[in-house]
């Protein structure tokens, strides 16, 4: 079964993600992808993540498929206008890509080409509607396609966003715009996340909880300071604090494993973000008892 079928039949799914490198040497990336084969249901490929210029998503999605994993094609609206987005979606379709994650994208000033013109011709909610249209056989201009797409479109939500109500309202819009699954921003505050899941029930949409591997207490503090919508509780920072290097990583793997174990009964699946330690994703899943 593929990602869509697994999720729709109610099986617990595990996704991870790979960030394309900046440059043409993809040996390490391929090593990481190969290590995930058979361990994940599908693998996200990020789109110039953090507004840092890297290999394009489509080319890496092809590598993932060649290795034998189903990709989730992340598409942001930062770098392409509506012509570019639709054109790339048609390209993705003929390459055999089935899953698309519709995102707005980080602002260029957060990345490495700060002077870039931000596009944002459309945004995540509208992109979901565009994908629906392509699936129905027409483009944004209402023109008929010679062959429709058949994408399984998803989106993201930030359950720990402050303030929460505007974020939740947008989450609902994404469901109404046709998002069939959600992956969340990294979550650490379990009681807060459980409250979110309780409220999300009425929308009846599969949610994959975002698990971001903590590699050190320093990283946790960095996330708290600089990453919007992510708050690592002090007790997790204290747990990590005594450890350094590989020992800290092992502790982080244990923490992530515990989180997943707690989420198994609540969520449709988990989305594991290991950021550079993709080869340890199997260890995290083992720690979770998966």
> Which of 21, 90, 120, 277 forms a contact with other proteins (CB under 8 A)?
120
- Strand bridging mode 13-18 / 42-45: parallel
CA-to-CA dists, residue 130 to 127, 134, 136, 170, angstroms: 5, 6, 10, 17
Distance (Å, whole) CA 117 – CA 73: 23
> Residue 126 interacts with other proteins (CB under 8 A)?
yes
> Residue 183 interacts with other proteins (CB under 8 A)?
no
Close Cβ partners of 108 (under 8 Å, ≥ 6 residues apart): 51, 78, 114, 115, 116, 117, 118
Q: Which residues between 142 and 181 bind other proteins (CB under 8 A)?
A: 156-158, 161-163, 165-167, 169-170, 172-173, 176-177
> Which of 65, 67, 95, 140 forms a contact with other proteins (CB under 8 A)?
140
Q: Are 131 and 178 in contact (CB under 8 A)?
A: yes
CB of 169 to other proteins, least distance (A): 5
Q: Which is nearer to other proteins, 39 or 170 (CB)?
A: 170
Q: Which among 60, 7, 73 has a CA at the least distance from the CA of 30?
A: 60
* Type and span of the H or E element at 258: helix 245-263
Q: Which is nearer to other proteins, 104 or 149 (CB)?
A: 104
Q: Which residues between 87 and 106 bind other proteins (CB under 8 A)?
A: 104-106
CB of 143 to other proteins, least distance (A): 15
> Residue 44 interacts with other proteins (CB under 8 A)?
no
Distance (Å, whole) CA 15 – CA 41: 6
Residue at token pair 């110039």:
48
> Residue 139 interacts with other proteins (CB under 8 A)?
no
**What residue ranges bind other proteins (CB under 8 A)?**
78, 82, 104-107, 109-110, 118, 120-126, 129, 140, 156-158, 161-163, 165-167, 169-170, 172-173, 176-177, 185, 228-229
């Amino acid at each position: 079964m593929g990602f869509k079928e697994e999720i729709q039949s109610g099986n617990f799914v595990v996704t991870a993600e790979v960030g394309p490198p900046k440059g043409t040497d993809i040996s390490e990336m391929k090593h990481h992808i190969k290590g995930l084969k058979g361990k994940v249901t599908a693998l996200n490929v990020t789109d110039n993540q953090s507004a840092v210029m890297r290999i394009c998503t489509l080319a890496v999605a092809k590598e993932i498929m060649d290795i034998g994993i189903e990709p989730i094609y992340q598409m942001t609206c930062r770098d392409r206008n509506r012509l570019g987005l639709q054109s790339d979606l048609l390209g993705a379709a003929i390459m055999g890509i089935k899953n698309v994650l519709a995102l707005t994208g980080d602002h260029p000033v957060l990345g490495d080409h700060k002077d870039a013109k931000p596009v944002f011709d459309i945004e995540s909610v509208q992109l979901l509607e565009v994908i629906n249209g392509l699936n129905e056989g027409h483009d944004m201009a209402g023109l008929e396609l010679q062959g429709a797409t058949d994408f399984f479109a998803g989106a993201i939500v930030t359950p720990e966003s402050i303030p929460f109500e505007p974020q939740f309202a947008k989450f609902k819009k994404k469901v109404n715009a046709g998002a069939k699954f959600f992956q969340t921003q990294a979550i650490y505050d379990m009681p807060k996340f459980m409250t979110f899941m309780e409220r999300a029930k009425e929308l009846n949409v599969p949610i994959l909880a975002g698990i971001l591997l903590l590699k050190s207490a320093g990283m946790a503090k960095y996330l708290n300071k600089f990453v919007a919508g992510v708050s690592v509780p002090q007790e997790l920072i204290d747990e990590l604090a005594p450890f350094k290097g590989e020992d800290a990583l092992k502790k982080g793997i244990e923490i992530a494993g515990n989180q997943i174990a707690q989420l198994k009964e609540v969520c449709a699946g988990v989305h594991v973000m290991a950021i550079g330690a993709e080869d340890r994703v199997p260890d995290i899943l083992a720690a979770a008892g998966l």
